[in-house]
Amino acid sequence: MTDPIEPISKSVFVRCDVERAFDLYTQGTDTWWPLETHTRHEEVEGAKVERVEFPTEPGMPILEHLSTGDALTWGELLVHDRPNRIVLAWKPNSNPNPPTEVEITFTPEGEGTRVDLEHRGWERLGALAEEGRAGYDEGWDFVLGRFANAA
Amino acid sequence: MLDALGDPTRRRILELVRDGARPVGEIARHVPVSRPAVSQHLRVLKEAGLVHDRQEGTRRLYAVDASGLTALRAYLETFWDTALAAFKEAAEAEETREETT
């Protein structure tokens, strides 16, 4: 067995109140998200990202809408607790692997908001890898694909 | 670690060793660089934690964590750094605009 896989933890302080931070993160995603580099549009020939649809109902998908009319999912909303917290089942790909999990919390701090992000659930992918299950090769395909596109 | 992945020859080497351990000589036959250059690339990949080696008889074999989880995780570290930096910029730009109007 391998060691447990640590979550990725990120934290950023923003000078605005929690409601604004939460709404910008969820309902204004396409105004700030790095659409050129952090999206799936390269999977569809000639496509550009038109907008990102971020639901407010748990169980609904987060969708990247493309200029071609296609919509690609980033995962599913699990918890929507405005303005404190969202939890996402994260799977921005079409591979047959389970999603990882991303939790983002918004906490008032001084004159602004602290945004904490935790990306976890790597053991789900790790377990598949250890079983040697066919078709699971997510990490390298994704990373090498990304870098090949960027090069 | 990301620099280690940024080079096309090193990505090719990773593709070669992801499916099983291979010695330097065999890797060198599949990439258009010299054997000493392959050794140098392997050293960079090893320092980045992407490749490990083991001695088997007279041969030293190079292999990767086949799941690529280390690489994926490292990639996502910078993915989220970039995303959150963009978010901070947007949140504070919006706030400034509101204060000045």
- In the A/B pair of chains, how many CB contacts fall below 8 A? 114
Which A residues, 3 through 62, put their C-beta within 8 Å of a C-beta on chain B?
Answer: 5, 8, 10, 12-16, 20-21, 24-25, 28, 31-34, 37-38
Is the pLDDT at A145 greater than 60, yes or no? Answer: yes
How high is the ipTM of this complex?
0.83
pLDDT on residue A98: 83
Q: H-helix or E-strand containing B86?
A: helix B69-100
The contacts found for A85-90 with CB under 8 angstroms, 24 or more apart, are: A86/A22, A86/A25, A86/A26, A88/A62, A90/A119
Chain A interface includes B88 (CB < 8 A): yes
3-state class (DSSP) for residue B8: helix
Q: Other CB atoms closer than 10 Å to residue A4's CB: what's the count?
A: 9
pLDDT on residue B30: 93
Return d(Cα A121, Cα A101) in angstroms, integer: 6
Which residue, among A36, A91, A44, has the nearest Cα to A66 in the 3D structure? A44
Is the pLDDT at A124 greater than 90, yes or no? Answer: no
Give the tens place of pLDDT for each residue, A3-60: 556 788 999 999 999 999 999 999 999 999 988 888 888 888 899 999 999 999 999 9
Spatial contact of A88 and A80, defined as CB atoms under 8 Å apart = no
